[in-house]
Amino acid sequence: MVKKIMPRAYDALGNIVVLKFPRAIILKDRKKFAMKFLEEHKQFKTILEKVEKFSGRLRKPTTKFLAGENTKITSYKENGCEFIFDVDKTYFSPRLSTERNEIASLISKMKGGKDILVMFAGVAPYSIVIGKKCKNCNVKSVELNREASKYARMNVQRNKLKNVEIIQGDVKKVSHKLGKFDVIVMPRPKLKMSFLETAFNVSKKGTIIYYYDFCKADKIDEIVEKVMKESKDCGKNINILNVKKAGEVGPYSYRIRIDFIVS
């Protein structure tokens, strides 16, 4: 019987494709698949494979070179913006592009110029898509990872934006210096800490918060209750505006987004 070599997952990041194979497939077969893939998809120049999941506070993946040009730096386009980054040194998910567009559209419909805080900003895809779509907004983009912040600054220049400021640091430690915000975007890493107290410290009456979390489909209500309880513990009243699934992250597991307003 001919063995079928099929990757389990596939992410196209500009010229680079990152594949994830089932464990049973040996290196020789993975390389063979990668070379054939490049031959058949001329728009790609490099094939990497994901060897570990996103890990640690910085959510950096680990990839291994398989075929083509040996590089981990790519240029990726979405929502009319361009991002360069190192696939191994920064977090980037093309699967969030619809979310970024949706958040930017929601903000662009709000009246007047707004002060926006993007926490956990990575190489600044949320910040830049928002900054580009909402020209009368000022965006502050906070990210812990130095390497990601370096690319974020390059990406702001590349997209010719004057309304996006990159701040490198732990959002818990730096946010109090940044003032109060009309909108706070929280594309949280998959970690236990909610960072809601940090968000409330820089919110005011009327601030809209877009909060991301991860859970199984039947646990969404529990996450909403957790957010309500933490808000109460911080002495804040909130009104939930919307709760939605924002993409599948595993079998029956979802990234969810809770939109709420501080009242």
Query: Residue 257, interface with ligand SAM (CB under 6 A)?
Result: no
- Beta-carbon contacts of 165 under 8 Å, excluding residues fewer than 6 positions away, are 138, 139, 140, 141
Tokens (6 digits) for 136: 């009368």
Query: Residue 131, interface with ligand SAM (CB under 6 A)?
Result: no
Instruction: Compose the 193-222 pattern: x for residues touching ligand SAM by CB under 6 A, - for all others.
Output: ------------------------------
- Sheet arrangement for strand 60-68: 9-13, 16-20, 46-55, 60-68
DSSP string, 139-172: EEEEES-HHHHHHHHHHHHHTT-SSEEEEES-HH
Question: Which of the ranges 108-116, 122-130, 158-166, 222-230 carries the binding residues for ligand SAM, by CB under 6 A?
Answer: 122-130
Residues of span 49-78 touching ligand SAM by CB under 6 A = 57-59
Between 32 and 158, whose beta carbon lies closer to ligand SAM?
158
Phi first, then psi, for residue 150 (nearest 5°) are -60, -45
Query: Residue 167, interface with ligand SAM (CB under 6 A)?
Result: no
Between 120 and 181, whose beta carbon lies closer to ligand SAM?
120
Cα distance between residue 112 and residue 195, in whole Å: 27
Q: Which of 21, 33, 37, 126 binds ligand SAM (CB under 6 A)?
A: 126
Please report how close the Cβ of residue 77 comes to ligand SAM at its closest, in angstroms.
14
Tokens (6 digits) for 60: 């950096």
Enter the DSSP assignment of 5.
Answer: -
Enter the DSSP assignment of 251.
Answer: T
Between 96 and 104, whose beta carbon lies closer to ligand SAM?
96
Question: Which of the ranges 63-71, 104-112, 119-127, 236-244 carries the binding residues for ligand SAM, by CB under 6 A?
Answer: 119-127
DSSP bridge partners of 142: 167
Residues that bind ligand SAM (CB under 6 A): 57-59, 91-93, 96, 120-122, 125-126, 142-145, 148, 170-172, 187, 189
